[in-house]
Structure 1
Amino acid sequence: MTIAAVLPPRRELWLLLTLAGIQFTHILDFMIMMPLGPQLTRLFGISDAQFGLLVSAYTLSAGVSGLLAATYIDRFGRKRLLMVLYVLFGLATLACGVAPTYGALMVARILAGMFGGVLSAVGQTIIADVIPYERRGRAMGIVMTSFSVSTVAGVPLGLVVAERWGWNMPFIAIALLCGVLTMVAARVLPAMTAHVHGASQHTVMGGIAQVLADANHRRAFLFSALLMSTGFTVIPYITIYLQANVGVQSGQIPWVYLCGGVVTLFTARLFGRMTDRHGKVTTFRWLAVAVAVPLLSVTLLGQVPLWVVLVATTLMFALMSGRMIPGMAILTAAANPALRGTFMTLNAAVQSAAMGLASLAGGMLIQRDAQGLVQNYWMAAVLGIVASLLAWRVVGGLTLHGATQGPPKARR
């Protein structure tokens, strides 16, 4: 049951833009760490491995917090929960910006991941509660543009801001933006408390048990893990490969993210419309196959001009993020509406774990030769392609609630 009927179109748009803004700050807070590696290693006197812990701490914390949040997410109104979590996320991000030591920064990153990971699940649940099934793909497309904007702003702009005003200024700026968006959210978000009565009929652990007892939910979690694994066997090592094997200079790396982000700004809306017009499963399956071409191409690039690199990486980013639009719409529809909040929170934990395991698998496959060149990167792409094709297969067996009168099989 949704509340879409009580929201006029203008307010619905403002709600989606607000959720996109919240998602933007969450993703940017995660992405901003990667280009700050050289500054942080020098400032705190830490190794590359210790810096890697700063990056992974966010995702691992998000996964753990997702499991914990599953015990309470359906017991509070969506607006109230989102507001509390977002304020705490903003404070944790501010703590990152004022952290005086490596240890303090590590604690702040863990807290930011803890609140940020749950934010994503709550936002996706709100979309599923508010937007009718037939328009959910376009709504996801609007919110998913936040990934593109964060890519555009996160790497190129983050480098400029950090170089000009110090490594901590990007975090402080994100925290200030969180404050502004909190005030906007307080005005545009409806209360969304209809699900609370249903949640009160079962115990906390009983709600989790109900989610896990549903075979459709378990299949959806498998689909979700495969969805995230596809890209994260390759994406974490793109910069290493491009610099070591392709000869891309460090000053040219921001163009990879800038071009990919700008193009994805437009393709996200396009894929959102395709999802609603041609069907979520059909659109996902097309993109799941299409992404294999640029994914493998990027890992096989040799010494080529920069424009060739940008074409390959931009196409990969566009199709990779494009898969997420019908993919997330499918996941929200696969959840039992009465348990959607718990389902989406557990799903956030599944996705965080899948990203970490995929990154680990990709790192175990690639090696360095005597000249320092990356070897076997293409094998990481093959592993990602296998995951994408498995997702193509698994999605056909999902039941999507709201697709028609009664929940039909997704393959119909």
Structure 2
Amino acid sequence: MTHPTLSARRELWLLLTIAGIQFTHILDFMIMMPLGPQFTRLFGISDAQFGLLVSAYTLSAGVSGLAAATYVDRFDRKLLLLTLYGLFALSTLACGLAPGYGFLMAARVAAGMFGGVLSALSQTIVADVVPFERRGRAMGIVMSSFSFSTVAGVPIGLFLASHLSWQAPFIGIAALSALFAVGAGLTLPRLNHHLLQRDRPSIWRGIRMVLADRNHLRAFGFTALLMLTGFTIIPFVTIYMQANVGLVDAQIPYLYLCGGLATLVSARLFGRMTDRFGKVRTFNWLAIAVMFPIMATTLAPRLPLWVVLVVATCLFVFLSGRMIPGMALVTSAAYPPLRGTFMALNASVQSGAMGLASLLGGFIISRDAAGQVQHYWVAGLFSVCASFATILMARRLHLHDGKSPPP
């Protein structure tokens, strides 16, 4: 498939716009996790019920990803992106206006329905526009949205939650999404080149072709393992840090501030490493490196704040860093004419795996009579095993450079 030809400056603007959109929907998901202690107190719910609240977003995104596979390659990607983004903003606003747990759960389901597809569509646009040889760097720019959400978004959101109310971060995200939507409408070019291709398969034939390709199935398995590695432990980091390590509410933003600042630098570095040393090799290095902070975090006793910040920062750096070569591998594993359908299905797998991982983590951990979190290290060990499995799976992926035919 022919890539749209953009100047270097226009390509950069496109990547920054996509990163901004990614920033808001990543922040919408991430802000739930440090608010965990507040939700458990305010709503009187258990850790497992909080895990369900987190997973409601991702499981809904998984279902909507399946539905998106039937239409994502049938529309101009710019028009589809703006439509879904507007619906996501409205759903996030509903979260901020929720009067109680039940309404909030419904609003999270709606936000996940549109936010999950946004992620797949954003990655599809990057893969459509940016040539294979620069895709690692491009993914580094887009994935830096994770860094900005942690270094700025989460601390500001927590500040608003502590000084106003827990609803304030969601209302702020909705307002910011409206601004980014206007920017996307002004800066993104028409993205309809995939519609001009001759002999495009029908919707259901396209889905069958994606699912019939063993390389695609391996990529789906790789994506699921990526999510299991992180989200078995991530939703419960704040809860564990407060209950077992001894951090207080005022110290939690420092975890995200330090982690975000570090990933802001490391994301660009890992993106360049991906293009220079190869996607598989860079991913393997990072997948091994992340195992150490995972176990250090889940086994941490009461520690000085500076030690906690070092451990948590390493966890942020390597968990987010492995996603850069990881998603470059996944997008490159897709046969280009079917990439939109593939990425929609992959988003469904990604979101479903995130939701199941959050539920699994919630069921693994428990509380003792003193309120201490128990068995978090078991979730960490499961996460390490999943990371090791991604290394084995990455070596089996066939990568398309935009020129090669399907295997």
Shift of the alpha carbon at 1:110? Answer: 1.6
In 2, Cα distance between the equivalents of 1:225 and 1:194? 30
- The correspondence of residues 226-241 of structure 1 with structure 2, limited to 5 A, is 226-241=225-240
Which stretch of structure 1 is more off in the superposition, 251-260 or 192-201? 192-201
SS in 1 for 2:381: helix
- For residue 259 of structure 2, what is the amino acid of its counterpart? G
Q: TM-score of the superposition, structure 2-length normalised? A: 0.93
SS in 1 for 2:166: coil
Shift of the alpha carbon at 1:177? Answer: 1.5
Q: Is the 8 A contact 2:55 2:356 kept in 1?
A: no
Residues 105-155 of structure 1: CA deviation (Å, up to 9, x unaligned):
333222111111100000000000000011100110011111111112333
| Residue 402 (structure 1) aligns with | 401
Q: Is the 8 A contact 1:199 1:339 kept in 2?
A: no
Which stretch of structure 1 is more off in the superposition, 233-242 or 118-127? 233-242
Shift of the alpha carbon at 1:101? Answer: 4.5
- For residue 362 of structure 1, what is the amino acid of its counterpart? G
Query: Structure 1's 408 and 212: CA in aligned 2 closer, same or farther, altered over 3 A?
Result: closer
Aligned length: 406
| Residue 338 (structure 1) aligns with | 337
Q: Does 2:284 correspond to 1:285?
A: yes
Which stretch of structure 1 is more off in the superposition, 235-244 or 309-318? 235-244
In 1, Cα distance between the equivalents of 2:134 and 2:253? 34
Residues 341-396 of structure 1: CA deviation (Å, up to 9, x unaligned):
11111111111111122223333333434443333322222211111111111111
- For residue 406 of structure 1, what is the amino acid of its counterpart? S
In 1, Cα distance between the equivalents of 2:299 and 2:19? 34
| Residue 260 (structure 1) aligns with | 259
Query: Structure 1's 186 and 270: CA in aligned 2 closer, same or farther, altered over 3 A?
Result: same
In 2, Cα distance between the equivalents of 1:41 and 1:381? 22
In 2, Cα distance between the equivalents of 1:200 and 1:102? 49
Which stretch of structure 1 is more off in the superposition, 183-192 or 78-87? 183-192
In 2, Cα distance between the equivalents of 1:162 and 1:148? 20
| Residue 272 (structure 1) aligns with | 271
What do you get for the CA RMSD once the two structures are aligned?
2.2
Residues 34-61 of structure 1: CA deviation (Å, up to 9, x unaligned):
3445655676x55346554433221111
- For residue 388 of structure 1, what is the amino acid of its counterpart? S
In 2, Cα distance between the equivalents of 1:102 and 1:300? 31
| Residue 47 (structure 1) aligns with | 45
| Residue 195 (structure 2) aligns with | 196
Q: Does 2:7 correspond to 1:26?
A: no
Which stretch of structure 1 is more off in the superposition, 227-236 or 46-55? 46-55
Residues 268-304 of structure 1: CA deviation (Å, up to 9, x unaligned):
0110111111111110011111111111111222222
Residues 235-282 of structure 1: CA deviation (Å, up to 9, x unaligned):
122122222222222321221111111111110011011111111111
In 2, Cα distance between the equivalents of 1:407 and 1:178? 39
Which stretch of structure 1 is more off in the superposition, 174-183 or 82-91? 174-183
| Residue 104 (structure 1) aligns with | 103
| Residue 358 (structure 2) aligns with | 359
Shift of the alpha carbon at 1:305? Answer: 1.1
- For residue 331 of structure 2, what is the amino acid of its counterpart? T
Q: Is the 8 A contact 1:34 1:55 kept in 2?
A: yes
SS in 1 for 2:205: helix
Note the residue ranges of structure 1 that are not aligned, 5 or more in a row.
Answer: none
In 2, Cα distance between the equivalents of 1:267 and 1:86? 28
Q: Is the 8 A contact 1:2 1:132 kept in 2?
A: no
Q: Is the 8 A contact 1:75 1:199 kept in 2?
A: no
| Residue 3 (structure 2) aligns with | 3
| Residue 392 (structure 2) aligns with | 393
| Residue 65 (structure 1) aligns with | 64
Q: TM-score of the superposition, structure 1-length normalised? A: 0.92
Query: Structure 1's 189 and 367: CA in aligned 2 closer, same or farther, altered over 3 A?
Result: same
Which stretch of structure 1 is more off in the superposition, 108-117 or 325-334? 108-117
Shift of the alpha carbon at 1:98? Answer: 2.8
- The correspondence of residues 99-248 of structure 1 with structure 2, limited to 5 A, is 99-198=98-197, 201-248=200-247
In 1, Cα distance between the equivalents of 2:240 and 2:35? 18
SS in 2 for 1:397: coil
In 2, Cα distance between the equivalents of 1:269 and 1:30? 23
Residues 291-333 of structure 1: CA deviation (Å, up to 9, x unaligned):
1111111122222211111111100110110000000011000
Which stretch of structure 1 is more off in the superposition, 54-63 or 344-353? 54-63
Q: Is the 8 A contact 2:56 2:355 kept in 1?
A: no
